[in-house]
Amino acid sequence: MKQQKTSSKTSDHYQIPYDFGLGGVPIGNEFTAVTDTEAQQTLEAAWKAGVRYYDTSPWYGLGLAERRFGQFLHNQNREDYVISSKVGKLLKASKKAKKSNLFPLAGSPNIVEFDYSADAVRRSIEDSLQRLGIDSLDIVFVHDLSPDNKYLEGNWLKHFEMAKQGAFPELTRMREEGLIKAWGLGVNRPEPILATIEVADPDIFLLASQYSLIDHQYALKHVFPEIRKKNIRLVMGSALNAGFISGSNRFNYGHEMPAEYMSKRRRLSAIATAHGVDLRTAALQFAAMPDVAAAVLCGARTAKQITEDARSMKVKIPADFWSELKAEKLISEEAPIKIHRSPVQSY
């Protein structure tokens, strides 16, 4: 089964030509240990399923995910896929790295420095290209420049000011130089996105953990309208709330699972079962439905997972299922429940 290209072009900003992508968090060994062989099998299965958009970061396994993505992708025709990575977390080799509590399953030789300066951004991109074994990035996201980033020293706004003076204009220069095609932020909170569109010229944002079946009201009412004014699109990340919707014992990368969301998951699951719908499939499609959605990213650590996730984007879900979710007030009455794009070409 081949993935579909998306058809609409709403602005002069960069448009991702694919509507579904593989996220690199699990392959970076954040949740559990994945061997190099298993990682390559997952990437091979993604490619076989037609997935042509890949998202990674120096942060995921402190270099491990990028090396694994690169091991597979550097053998593919560079024109045949889109890849995004991230900046703001600069890796440096250290003999103390393996004693760090960050990604202990990754066995990385690196420590991380949060640096949103122009020089750090350019170096970070050069380092990522070396780990990936390729000569260009399509999209660069400024990573976790957000009030929920517990590793930042001091107020996040101090780092935002550095990015405003350093990372943002440098990424714009790199876009003008043709070294990257597009840039934006990859964050779990709305405040940085809304602030960035007022002070810079981003192309696209990675909206993580903000639009899912579990939680979507704020994004729907406050983020989407502002994004539309700027003709910017969103990559929808963590539509499963880091696996929570599909049954994992974590919520948005943490192990605290709010009781209200546990209850909502049970209600969603019961309705899905009654309609013969796979809740994971519904969650992935729900994230793809807004007109501002450029693509949906889904992390996977096994070949079986990514094959099923890619297939989920093609399943037809009965309209009555969505209608009941609205009637039971489990999703907003204003939430779109129809995929707005039409396939134009298969790859």
DSSP string, 182-209: EEEEEESSSHHHHHHHHHS---EEEEES
In the chain, where does DSSP find H-type helix? 36-48, 64-73, 118-132, 156-165, 167-177, 191-199, 217-218, 224-229, 259-274, 279-288, 303-312, 319-327
Task: Specify the pLDDT at position 96.
Answer: 84
Closest CA to 22 of 183, 281, 237, 202: 237
Task: Specify the pLDDT at position 97.
Answer: 86
How far is Cα 224 from Cα 237, in angstroms, rounded to an integer?
15
How far is Cα 113 from Cα 115, in angstroms, rounded to an integer?
6
Task: Specify the pLDDT at position 12.
Answer: 66
And the tokens for 252? 């948005």
**Domains in the chain with CATH codes:** 20-327 (3.20.20.100)
- Cβ pair 230, 274 in contact under 8 A: no
**Residue 122 neighbours by CB distance under 10 Å:** 18
Upper half-sphere CA count for residue 231 (Cβ side, 13 Å): 8
Q: 206-219 as b/e, with b when 16 or more CB fall inside 10 Å?
A: bbbbbbbbbbbeeb
Digitized pLDDT (tens) for each residue of the chain, 347 residues in all: 445 544 333 346 789 999 999 999 999 999 899 999 999 999 999 999 999 999 999 999 999 999 999 999 999 999 999 999 999 999 999 988 877 778 899 999 999 999 999 999 999 999 999 999 999 999 999 999 999 999 999 999 999 999 999 999 999 999 999 999 999 999 999 999 999 999 999 999 999 999 999 999 999 999 999 999 999 999 999 999 988 998 888 888 877 889 999 999 999 999 999 999 999 999 999 999 999 999 999 999 999 999 999 999 999 999 999 999 999 999 999 999 986 554 433 32
Torsion angles phi and psi, residue 94, rounded to 5: -155, 140
Give, to the nearest 10 degrees, the angle between helix 279-288 and helix 303-312: 60
Give 78's DSSP letter: G
Task: Specify the pLDDT at position 341.
Answer: 55
Task: Specify the pLDDT at position 101.
Answer: 77
How far is Cα 49 from Cα 107, in angstroms, rounded to an integer?
30
Task: Specify the pLDDT at position 339.
Answer: 67
Closest CA to 51 of 78, 15, 81: 81
Task: Specify the pLDDT at position 3.
Answer: 54
